[in-house]
Amino acid sequence: MRPVALVTGAGGGIGSAVVTTLVKHGWVVVGVDLVDRPAGLESVEWVVGDVRDQSTVEHALAVASQYGEVGGLVTATLAEQRGSLESLDPAALTTVFEVQVAAAWAWSTAVVAAAPLEASLVHISSVHAQRAVPGMAAYAMGKAALDALVRAAAVEWGPRGVRCNAVLPGFVPVQRNQHRRSEERLAGHPLRRYVTAEDVAQVVAFLLGSESRAVTGVSLPVDGGMLATLPHWA
């Protein structure tokens, strides 16, 4: 029987790459997003809904149950608020934490409760969880909290055979941020190439699969070496 995975944020640049890659690796995938199923993902089940709503969680699990027990979860939802610390809007900041952290917690607990056997959870974090740049505080705080959730889940659910990890993409030029490509940004990558959504998806597939059965509680950079680089003046 093919393993079953839920992917939230499945219509985004990284999310859709994760869906496509998991299908190639033999997974049955249920994609979840606010938008309708993008072209090219006709082979997967699709649930349209807000990841913050419990009804969306229940609907996705019901669809997945038609194929067997859910053995994998990937959360790839995105919420950000750009601006200086003093200009952050409290309501928008709350939304960032709801989408990036609270929803990841809710989906993780639901999957673990529904899966009596081992499950693997992978959350899409960011290099911003470990480094800071002006104007990205809300996003960074959300991703840092997500990494804390990963460690807590690995420790609490490890005795049940549940693994929980995160990937930390660097700058991934997808449709929403293509305009931010620059020679300066590329120079911060020791590999001298941008990380692609497919690069991230391959690591996600590894962390979901049995080949990584001894890996849990890890936040793994997939960043072309960005986090390994000191500024030239350091």
Tens of pLDDT, residues 44-76: 999 999 999 999 999 999 999 999 999 999 999
More confident residue, 184 or 78: 78
Domain range list for the chain: 4-221
pTM of the model: 0.93
The predicted pLDDT at position 234 comes to 47
Task: For domain 4-221, give the CATH number.
Answer: 3.40.50.720
Q: State yes or no: is 143 an active-site residue.
A: yes
What separation in angstroms does the CA of 187 have from each of 172, 193, 224?
A: 14, 9, 11
Q: State yes or no: is 139 an active-site residue.
A: yes
Tens of pLDDT, residues 171-202: 887 666 566 666 666 677 788 788 899 999 99
Q: Is the pLDDT score of 233 beyond 60?
A: no
- From 24, 67, 143, 194, the catalytic residue: 143
- From 24, 67, 139, 194, the catalytic residue: 139
The predicted pLDDT at position 174 comes to 65
| Residues ≥6 apart with Cβ < 8 Å to 100 | 77, 78, 79, 142, 143, 145, 146
Q: Is the distance from CB of 33 to CB of 15 less than 8 angstroms?
A: yes
In the chain, the percentage of residues whose pLDDT exceeds 70 is 92
Residue 48's H or E segment, with its range, is strand 45-48
- What is the mean pLDDT of the segment spanning 91-119? 93
